Amino acid sequence: MFNKILIANRGEIACRVIRTAHKLGIRCVAVYSEADANAMHVAMADEAVCVGPAASKDSYLKMDTILQVAKETGAQAIHPGYGFLSENAPFVQKCQEAGVAFIGPPADAIRAMGSKSAAKRIMEEANVPLVPGYHGDDQDPALLKKHSDEMGYPVLLKATAGGGGKGMRVVWAPDEFTSALDAAKREAINGFADDTMLVEKYLTKPRHVEIQVFCDQHGNSVYLAERDCSVQRRHQKVVEEAPAPGMSDELRKAMGEAAVRAAEAIGYVGAGTVEFLLDEDGSFYFMEMNTRLQVEHPVTELITGQDLVEWQLAVAANQPLPISQDEVQIKGHAVEVRIYAEDPDNDFLPATGKLEYLRTPEENRHVRVDTGVREGDEVSIYYDPMIAKLIVWDENRDRALQRMSQALAEYRIAGMKTNTHFLKRLIDHKAFRDAELDTGFIEKHEADLFENTPTDSQTGSRAGSQSANPLAMATLYTLLKQQQSRQAEAIHSHDGTSPWHQFSGWRLNEEPTHVVRFSQEGTDQEKIEHEVTVNWLDHGYRLTLDGHIMIVDGKLNDDRLHANVNGHNRNAFVAELNGHVTVFTDQGAFEYQWQRPDLDSHDFEEEKASLTAPMNGSIVAVLVEQGQKVTKGTAMVIMEAMKMEHTITASVDGTVTEIFFQTGDLVEGGADLVAFEAEETD
Ligand code: ADP
């Protein structure tokens, strides 16, 4: 076994690899970019070397620099994690030439699977079932269209070099073909510098079921059951679970054996995943093979009791696989969700910023948190905005989902938009509980999953008593907070007993009442105003809010609020950042903007209405001209940011009066992209 390895990655996967390496007594060298000098993986490693500026291409993708660091530090092997250099055949070649072991498959296996179309040809020969389609070299658009017309719509266009759902477009009808092809090619050029396309039949209700395979250098191969990753958005996985609900032993065996055939056909070594589409009738089709450790590998670890990174290290050190196919056992059920800095209610727009407040559920034999960030860390524009993977295990699926729901409620993040709410709704959704899974799940249940405030789903109305609770707690928090600061002031003052230092509603010649104002972002980003009237009682307060009267009292210890609302004890955590009060309850997080009497209220609406860049990025296409009249919804500019395309559309009818950028320009988040005159309506 190795004594020292280098990890050519960052974030949660770098930390994940270090954990196993340390367990085995292997020392770890981290590499990092200038933006990551204080990152968690750097802190966890035994040594760390800066390899360049923030942009990945100048740091994490610098093959020669990374190899040089391996040499200088005496690392015997390189673990590439996923992404970055993990599926880069030239890098594997370079490692080999430098005498450093690559913890992954041989360069030829990566090459064979690097192109989706070449992979399909190999699989055809190995008798692995394929989705009908065209994967030839001739890329004449007319020919691609002809194949699509013959196959019948819908069809799916895929960049053969693609990954992560990018460079893919569904085409529903012949007249959409050309524009879809252009868009897919554009995304592919930007993402992978290669716009070769394949077309295949688009299955309308498939499940994504993938098989984990492992091969050693002694000719042994095994499959470690499957993962169901059907719940996706923009063809990217959101929830992964193992085993796949409803999987029979026969189907598992058939798919597992097909996956092993696929791996053996390319002389595979190490951890790999063969992805299949599973159709409603039980037929399955090869989609692609990922020649690396997958993001979702932990669910397989939790049901098999194996450490896949340990297996990877063993295989790379030329040891045989630790168990044979007969010894693979599956126990219980595991589920993983990916916690992202993003806004699900705004088309999953990635978010960036500082993780000002971050609390994670306690880890134990049921709950695992794989993360690469701590409170105070930055989610930057340079890398994937994943904050963590949350993984749970239990005896069966129902119990595992219950655990997941609970763990999500305990995952508390404030100061940044995240998808934790959305994930909780998804996990709690009846259709998901009933395992009615297919890749269209999120679209199908859109109406239930995307409401903005958690209040709506629980009560059906915002004025319901349950929705009043978090508001009452937010109010109580502000009252206790003010009381604490008055007390602190009194300690420092000469006249501590002065009524001016007490926060008791005492006013000269006035009733002891006080009004607290909050605003809240509701569905469609409209603002909901709340006004709470507070009356001081001997013990606690009487609140009048949204038509309810509530008697509240409680204690505040840092972020922990012990509240009593109408005689009912309720505990919550509260985070306050820049006037935003977030109350974390079992029902989810409720965020309010506290309109402190001394602060100008901030108008969010105006910011949102303008045609500005949602984040730093580059302009991919300008679709309008100066002076052009457009109608509401017209796409005006396409930007690329964080490897995704974002379309900026007109929110009302009007005229474009000026365009500030051209294709190829870099823009900063918040920059005005076009000047626009709305049409007068009377
Ligand atoms: P990527 O490499 O970008 O992840 P994949 O080929 O793995 O692309 O496909 C990603 C997802 O797109 C799949 O999980 C599935 O949901 C969907 N998909 C791919 N091919 C088809 C198809 N032929 N029919 C329906 N859905 C598909």
Q: Report pLDDT digits (tens) over 64-75.
A: 999 999 999 999
**Mean pLDDT estimate for the chain:** 90
Q: Which residue has the tokens 């309810």?
A: 548
> Is any ligand 1 atom within 6 A of the Cβ of residue 235?
yes
Q: Report pLDDT digits (tens) over 410-465.
A: 999 998 899 999 999 999 999 999 999 999 999 999 999 986 544 433 333 333 33
Grouping H, G, I as helix, E, B as strand and the rest as coil, residue 260 is helix
Q: Report pLDDT digits (tens) over 268-306.
A: 999 999 999 999 989 999 999 999 999 999 999 999 999
Q: Report pLDDT digits (tens) over 208-231.
A: 999 999 999 999 999 999 999 999
Which has more confidence, 667 or 158? 158
Q: Which residue has the tokens 């996990």?
A: 427
Phi, psi of 597 (to 5 degrees): -55, -25
pLDDT score recorded for residue 679: 81
Cα–Cα distance measured from residue 6 to residue 211, given in angstroms and rounded to the nearest whole number: 28
pLDDT score recorded for residue 308: 98
pLDDT score recorded for residue 502: 62
> Is any ligand 1 atom within 6 A of the Cβ of residue 162?
yes
Query: Would the pLDDT of 665 be above 50?
Result: yes
Residue nearest to atom 19 of ligand 1 (CA): 287
What is the mean pLDDT of the segment spanning 323-344? 97
Sketch the domain layout of the chain as residue ranges.
Answer: 4-103, 132-201, 208-449, 457-595, 610-678
Q: Is 292 marked active-site?
A: yes
Closest CA to 86 of 164, 23, 186: 164
Residue nearest to atom 17 of ligand 1 (CA): 235
What is the mean pLDDT of the segment spanning 547-566? 94
What is the mean pLDDT of the segment spanning 648-657? 85
The fraction of the chain above a pLDDT of 90, given in percent, is 71
pLDDT score recorded for residue 495: 65
Query: Would the pLDDT of 129 be above 90?
Result: yes
Query: Would the pLDDT of 547 be above 90?
Result: no
Closest CA to 337 of 246, 400, 383, 274: 400
Query: Would the pLDDT of 29 be above 90?
Result: yes
Alpha helices in 213-372 (DSSP H): 249-265, 297-304, 308-316
Q: Report pLDDT digits (tens) over 240-267.
A: 999 999 999 999 999 999 999 999 999 9
Query: Would the pLDDT of 35 be above 60?
Result: yes
> Is any ligand 1 atom within 6 A of the Cβ of residue 156?
yes
pLDDT score recorded for residue 576: 92
Q: Does domain 457-595 have CATH number 3.90.78.10?
A: no
Fold for the domain defined by 132-201: Dna Ligase; domain 1 (3.30.1490)
pLDDT score recorded for residue 504: 64
pLDDT score recorded for residue 602: 38
What is the mean pLDDT of the segment spanning 643-655? 79
For domain 610-678, the CATH class is: mainly beta
Q: Report pLDDT digits (tens) over 40-66.
A: 999 999 999 999 999 999 999 999 999
Q: How far is the CA of 276 from the centre of ligand 1 (A)?
A: 9
pLDDT score recorded for residue 455: 43
Q: Report pLDDT digits (tens) over 464-509.
A: 334 678 999 999 999 999 888 888 777 776 666 666 566 666 555 5
CATH no. for 208-449 = 3.30.470.20
Question: Could you tell me the two tokens for 596?
Answer: 């402190």
Question: Could you tell me the two tokens for 266?
Answer: 């390319």
Cα–Cα distance measured from residue 464 to residue 460, given in angstroms and rounded to the nearest whole number: 7
Q: Does domain 4-103 have CATH number 3.40.50.20?
A: yes
Whether 159 contacts 188, CB under 8 Å: yes
Active-site residue, from 16, 169, 252, 292: 292
> Is any ligand 1 atom within 6 A of the Cβ of residue 440?
no
Question: Could you tell me the two tokens for 101?
Answer: 């072991």
What is the mean pLDDT of the segment spanning 369-390? 95
From 439, 443, 643, mutation site for ligand 1 pocket: most ligand atoms within 8 A of C-beta? 439
> For the chain, how big is the Rg over CA atoms in Å?
28
> Is any ligand 1 atom within 6 A of the Cβ of residue 210?
no
pLDDT tier at 607 (50, 70, 90 boundaries)? very low
Phi, psi of 322 (to 5 degrees): -70, -25
What is the mean pLDDT of the segment spanning 121-136? 94
Query: Would the pLDDT of 375 be above 70?
Result: yes
| Region label for 596, one of left (φ > 0), alpha (ψ between -120 and 50) or beta (otherwise) | beta
